[in-house]
């Protein structure tokens, strides 16, 4: 590979890492052509970008970024494919779906919500991670809950008060 091609590949990796909120480091080398095509189709449907990279180019790209990605360097051995997504648990769910048959694709590591998850045993934890938007939605729901309870109590109290007044009015007649 020529030096210009390497620099272009490194720049492409850098741009992709900056464009997405999280990425998963996987090994898909044991998949045959049909399963690889099926994985790529599934990634496309779930808005996950799949990119096969050389470890040395990935390390150079990670070193040139502001964040310290050094915890990932130890797993960058053998074949490496990156799964990029803006939904933090989407790649984990896809990996689990594909692993029903065998242990491939193999999860090496993940960088999600500014945290590192090293090892295949982290897959279940990654599946249950909520995205930033899901967490914001939960906080809003919690903040709205007391207000909804007050409004509900006032509305139900109004019906009771109306019933009492109607009963008193009917007694007078």
Q: For residue range 133-142, list pLDDT tens digits in order.
A: 778 888 888 8
Whole-angstrom distance, CA of residue 22 vs CA of residue 14: 13
Q: What is the pLDDT of residue 155?
A: 66
Q: Which residues of 29-58 are buried (b: 16+ CB within 10 A; e: fewer)?
A: eebeeebbeebeeebeeeebbbbebbeebb
* Segments in the chain below pLDDT 50: none
Q: What is the DSSP letter of 30?
A: T
Listed residue (129, 33, 32, 18) closest to 84, CA to CA: 18
Nearest to 53 by CA among 88, 24, 21: 24
Residue 44 tokens, joined: 């496309």
Residue 121's H or E segment, with its range, is none
- Give the pLDDT score at 135: 80
Rounded to whole angstroms, what are the CA distances from 167 to 83, 103, 114, 153, 171?
A: 68, 71, 63, 21, 6
Note the pLDDT of residue 144.
79
């Amino acid at each position: 590979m020529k030096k210009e091609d390497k620099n272009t590949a490194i720049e492409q990796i850098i741009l992709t890492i900056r464009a997405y909120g999280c990425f998963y480091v996987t090994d898909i080398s044991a998949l045959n052509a049909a399963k690889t095509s099926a994985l790529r189709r599934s990634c496309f449907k779930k808005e996950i970008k799949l990119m096969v990279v050389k470890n040395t180019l990935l390390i150079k790209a990670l070193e040139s970024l502001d964040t310290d990605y050094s915890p990932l360097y130890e797993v960058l051995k053998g074949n490496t494919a990156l799964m990029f997504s803006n939904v933090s648990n989407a790649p984990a769910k896809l990996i689990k779906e594909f692993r029903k048959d065998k242990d491939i694709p193999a999860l090496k590591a993940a960088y999600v919500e500014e945290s590192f998850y090293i090892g295949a045993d982290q897959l279940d934890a990654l599946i249950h991670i909520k995205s930033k938007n899901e967490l914001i939605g939960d906080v809003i729901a919690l903040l709205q809950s007391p207000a909804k309870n007050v409004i509900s109590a006032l509305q139900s109290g109004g019906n009771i008060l109306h019933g009492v007044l109607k009963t008193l009015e009917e007694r007078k007649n």
